[in-house]
Amino acid sequence: MTVRKLALLAVAVVAAFACGTASSGPTTGSTITLGAPLGLTGSLTKESILTQQGYNLWQDWINARGGILVGGVKHPVVIKYYDDTSSANQSAVLMQKLITEDKAQFLLGPYGSAATATDAAIAEQNQIPMVEANGAAQSIFNQGYKYTFGVLSPANKYLQGVIDMAATLNPKPTTVFMLSADDNFSLEVANAIVTYAPTKGMTVFPVKKYKNGATNLSAEVQAAKAANADIVLNSGHLQEAIAINKAAKEQKLNAKIFAYSVGPSTPDFIAALGKDADYVYDGSQWTPQVKYTPAFYLTVAQYVAAYKAKYPGLGDPDYHVAESTAACLALQRAIENAGSLDAKKVRDALAALDVTVFFGQIKFDTRGINIYKPMVVEQIQSGVHHTVFPSNIADAQPMYPTPNWDQR
Amino acid sequence: MIAGAIIATYALLAPLTSLDAVQSAGVPLLADKLWFRIATYIAMFMVMATAWNIIGGITGYAAFGNVAFFGIGAYTTGMLVAKAKWPFLAALPLAPVVASAFAALIGLPLLRLRGHYFAVASLGVGVAVGELVQNIDYAGQPLFGGASGLFLPILSIDNRGLFFFYLMLAAAAIAIAVTWWVLRSRFGYGLIAIRENEEAASVIGVNTTAYKVGAFALAAALTGLAGGIFSQWNVFINQDNAFPIEYNVQMILMALIGGTGTVFGPAAGAVLLQLLIQFLGGSLPISFDIPFVSTDARPIVAQVILGVLLVVVVIFMPRGVIDFFGGRSRLSLSYLRRSLRETSL
């Protein structure tokens, strides 16, 4: 019985293989090696694994199609990873190893602005293009580097969408209180609001800085309450966003809008706060609700389905996954457009790239960062994430103004 | 000694890399930017471990915050190159000057402490300086690049990797030469006297404060020099990579493994330990599987191995591996038993 089953299976496999090879038109060329050091252990493990998931989703997809098409020849792709233990210095050593030992022809970015900054210098010195999706600090792109491209919106855009949205609301909020952690990414987000909000007719109180990773933020929330601003913004991370929201409830800090740069988009935020998470906004690179018409690869719905099929039990893909896949797509399309595997030609093709995928428009300014894709504003409504801005890709209206704590 | 010989051979042969013929021939160690990067790291730790030896090994003050001087050196050069647009080679000499001036300043109060108190206070300085550099603002703008760090322009020279390797190796040679001089000078005898018995040294006329501060400043100058080279070599510096806490432990461990108080011990320890760290971190081109350890667990196992190594070395080899070179001692069971007796209370 088992022997017969096995035999049948073998026949089926052989048949499938035969069909596969028979139907493929272009010939198969050399394998393209891509390299990426990631913090698979250490403090950035969680985000690095999301990044790797995004890369792997594309790798599976492109190899199922035989590889990247260059001049009528399909080149399969292998992505080589190393664990940089979340250390930027180690990331640079491993980047060099990927280039010299593993002969990586193109590079994908590590996780985080610090490692991306160090690795960008390595890519530049070796003249190998690096497409990255997880280093949003603009300082990386202000160095005149020619070989680093970031598909994500830069840090200064993170909360601008919230201000843009607020400007359309009625009654229009006019005062902004800005809290910020003191790391490079968070401060860039905060400083951008200080210069941007006045252009929309809003006044901003001086930024209230706190130590990155702080767990007790009651003094900062007290300062926000004293200012009595319409909008309370935080530029920080998940833990700090949770701490601020808890303190806001305890101290009855009432604002028309609470918006946090990073944190509310993750399931952990709702799990930690329950009903108190409602009405909170965040700026997100991408949400599973966005409506973009892709020129190639999957639609948004297909992408979400593909993620759930490969990584069951993890819920919807987070924006870190989506932007990482988008980096691969940018590289793929640039190689196809260049019609060559030459590093210089692919770099030029990346610089000229303008394509829309499930993640949004990918186009780089002269510095190499994608300033053309808008950030999305999400709001938690009855425990569910909804995209509320820009309105042409939104799936719900913003619930505005946020009710006072004692009226919830 | 073997590792030292490899480095020496490598240093002698490295100039050949500029020849295209050698590069196209693909001689493994010579045509390889990865090796340059790792070799430069090794030389960098040779400087730091040798410098630590002056205050920690010769003077006997367990300084746990020397990374502060590394960071100060890195930021001195970094600020001058990135903000004041100085040429790198003009900015580099100021790295040791600023680092040693800072060490002299904090050394005066800090070196009044002894034993654990000094170790803890110096560790505090190491952490505090990094935080200050990141958070000091001037006129609303971060003075030292703040959390965004500093980007230095990439040096436009041929064979950049080779240049920085030689520069770092020269710094290591300077550090070793300085140690050699210290151990043969009146200054060095004073430091050893302080290590063995500070009161007695004072009684026989050693100006202990001046000697201790001098040793601290000397160690800081050398460490700062390494930091200054690092900033231009790495192109990007921020609090994380200019003030890494783990460097404090690594440089001490290297000096201990090699042999504290000796001329070549710390440098030998740096070669051994940095090769081990790079190997465990998976960045060496010669990599093989560690039995029973999956690749995912390697970085964690690396930390465990380093910790165990520290304990074993401190207990069984208090004079370091350098003790076995040149026929002074032989590694034997009786040597280990004698060491155990010496290190037991």
pLDDT confidence band for B288 (50 / 70 / 90)? low
Residue B135, pLDDT score: 84
pLDDT at B22 over 90: no
Nearest to A32 by CA among A89, A82, A79, A100: A79
pLDDT confidence band for A15 (50 / 70 / 90)? very low
pLDDT digits (tens, 9 = 90+) for B247-287: 998 999 899 989 999 999 999 999 999 988 888 777 776 66
Residue A325, pLDDT score: 97
Nearest to A258 by CA among A242, A171, A271, A185: A242
Task: Name residues whose C-beta falls within 8 Å of residue B327's C-beta, 6 or more positions apart in sequence.
Answer: none
Residue percentage of chain B with pLDDT more than 70: 86
A137/B148 touch (CB, cutoff 8 Å), yes or no: yes
Which CATH number is A157-284+375-407's, of 3.40.980.10, 3.40.50.2300, 3.90.1150.10, 3.40.50.620? 3.40.50.2300
Q: Which of B148, B150, B232 to mutate to test the interface with A (most CBs of A within 10 A)?
A: B148
| Rounded-to-integer distance, Cα A204 and Cα A194, Å | 6
Residue count of chain B, please give it.
345
Residue A161 · residue A389 · CB < 8 Å: yes
B146/A118 touch (CB, cutoff 8 Å), yes or no: no
Nearest to A83 among B148, B235, B282 (CB): B282
- ipTM, two decimals: 0.82
- B154-162 long-range CB contacts below 8 Å, 24 or more apart? B154/A121, B154/A124, B154/A125, B154/B235, B155/B88, B155/B232, B158/B18, B159/B17, B159/B18, B160/A125, B161/B33, B161/B36, B161/B37, B161/B40, B162/B14, B162/B15, B162/B17, B162/B18, B162/B36
Residue B247 · residue B270 · CB < 8 Å: no
Of A4-18, A294-308, B141-155, B291-305, where does mean pLDDT reach its minimum?
Answer: A4-18
Residue A79 · residue A55 · CB < 8 Å: yes
Query: Bigger pLDDT: A28 or B43?
Result: B43
pLDDT confidence band for A74 (50 / 70 / 90)? very high
Nearest to A93 among B135, B283, B299 (CB): B283
Strand-by-strand arrangement of the A73-75 sheet: A27-28, A73-75, A68-70
Query: Bigger pLDDT: A335 or A238?
Result: A335
Mean pLDDT confidence for B1-8: 54
pLDDT digits (tens, 9 = 90+) for A227-281: 999 999 999 888 889 999 999 999 999 999 999 988 888 778 898 999 999 999 9
Q: What is the b/e burial string over A113-123, where b = at least 16 CB atoms within 10 angstroms of the residue's CB?
A: bbbbbbbbbbb
pLDDT at A33 over 60: yes
Retrieve residue A251's tokens.
């101290």
Contact B282/A at CB under 8 A: yes
B283/A88 touch (CB, cutoff 8 Å), yes or no: no
Residue B11, pLDDT score: 53
| Rounded-to-integer distance, Cα B124 and Cα B245, Å | 11
Residue B89, pLDDT score: 94
B295 contact residues in A (CB cutoff 8 A): 83
Residue A358 · residue A323 · CB < 8 Å: no
pLDDT digits (tens, 9 = 90+) for B172-220: 999 999 999 999 999 999 999 999 999 999 999 999 999 999 999 999 9
Nearest to B238 by CA among B100, B124, B82: B82
Residue B327, pLDDT score: 63
Residue A159, pLDDT score: 94
Residue count of chain A, please give it.
408
Mean pLDDT confidence for A17-36: 70
**Residue B297 gets which letter from DSSP?**
G
Residue A318, pLDDT score: 85
Residue B20, pLDDT score: 47
Ordered DSSP codes for A246-307: HHHHHTT---SEEEESSSTTSHHHHHHHGGGGTT-EEEES--TT-----SSS--HHHHHHHH
Contact B134/A at CB under 8 A: yes
Residue B307: inside a domain, yes or no?
no
How far from chain centre, in Å, is Cα B111?
A: 21
Counted domains in chain B: 1
| Rounded-to-integer distance, Cα B127 and Cα A271, Å | 35
Retrieve residue A232's tokens.
């309370």
Residue B114: helix, strand or coil by DSSP? coil
A93/B147 touch (CB, cutoff 8 Å), yes or no: no
CATH number of domain containing B199: 1.10.3470
Q: How many CB atoms lie within 10 A of CB A301?
A: 12
Residue A13, pLDDT score: 46
| Rounded-to-integer distance, Cα B198 and Cα B184, Å | 20
pLDDT at B104 over 70: yes
DSSP E strand boundaries for chain B: 137-138, 141-142, 150-151, 236-237
Sign of the dihedral through C-alpha B72, B78, B80, B82: negative
Q: Which residue of B has its CA nearest to A118?
A: B236
Residue B306: inside a domain, yes or no?
no
* Cis preceding-peptide flag for A390 (omega within 30 of 0): yes
Using only C-alpha atoms, what is the Rg of chain A? 23
Residue A310 · residue A57 · CB < 8 Å: yes
Mean pLDDT confidence for A318-335: 95
A104 contact residues in B (CB cutoff 8 A): none
Residue B287, pLDDT score: 61
Residue B51, pLDDT score: 97
Give the bridge partners for A289, in sequence order.
none
pLDDT confidence band for A57 (50 / 70 / 90)? very high
**Can you give the residue range of the structural domain that contains B164?**
2-245
CATH 3.30.43.10 fits A31-153+289-363, yes or no: no
Residue B64, pLDDT score: 92
What is the residue-averaged pLDDT of chain B? 85
B37/A96 touch (CB, cutoff 8 Å), yes or no: yes
Residues of A near B (Cβ–Cβ under 8 Å) read: 40-42, 82-83, 85, 87-90, 92-94, 96-97, 99-101, 114, 117-118, 120-121, 124-126, 137, 139, 142-143, 182-188, 212
Query: Bigger pLDDT: B5 or A381?
Result: A381
pLDDT digits (tens, 9 = 90+) for B134-173: 888 887 778 898 878 899 999 888 788 889 999 999 999 9
Residue A61, pLDDT score: 97
Of B3-12, B14-23, B43-52, B150-159, where does mean pLDDT reach its minimum?
Answer: B14-23
Query: B35 to chain A nearest CA, in Å?
Result: 9
pLDDT at A344 over 70: yes
Residue A53 · residue A318 · CB < 8 Å: no
A124/B296 touch (CB, cutoff 8 Å), yes or no: no
Bridge-based pairing state of the strands B137-138 and B141-142:
antiparallel
Residue A18, pLDDT score: 42
Residue B81: inside a domain, yes or no?
yes
Q: Which of A80, A86, A118 to mutate to test the interface with B (most CBs of B within 10 A)?
A: A118
Which single residue is written with the structure tokens 């022997």? A3
Residue A242 · residue A272 · CB < 8 Å: yes
| Rounded-to-integer distance, Cα B331 and Cα B309, Å | 16
pLDDT at B76 over 90: yes
What is the residue-averaged pLDDT of chain A? 90
Amino acid sitting at position A16: A
pLDDT digits (tens, 9 = 90+) for A150-198: 999 998 899 999 999 999 998 999 999 999 998 778 888 999 999 999 9
Contact B303/A at CB under 8 A: no
Amino acid sitting at position B125: V
Amino acid sitting at position A85: T
pLDDT digits (tens, 9 = 90+) for A60-69: 999 999 999 9
**Element housing A94 (H / E):** helix A88-100
A92 contact residues in B (CB cutoff 8 A): 37, 234
Residue B251: helix, strand or coil by DSSP? helix
Which single residue is written with the structure tokens 């070799």? B39
The segment(s) of chain A belonging to CATH 3.40.50.2300 are: 31-153+289-363, 157-284+375-407
Retrieve residue B210's tokens.
């001046």
B296 contact residues in A (CB cutoff 8 A): 40-41, 83
pLDDT at B102 over 60: yes
Residue B177: inside a domain, yes or no?
yes
Q: How many CB atoms lie within 10 A of CB A34?
A: 22
Nearest to B52 by CA among B218, B187, B294: B218
Mean pLDDT confidence for A298-304: 95
pLDDT at A1 over 70: no
Nearest to A187 among B33, B37, B146 (CB): B146
pLDDT digits (tens, 9 = 90+) for A111-158: 988 899 999 999 999 999 999 999 888 889 999 999 999 999 998 899
Residue B313: inside a domain, yes or no?
no
pLDDT at A24 over 70: no
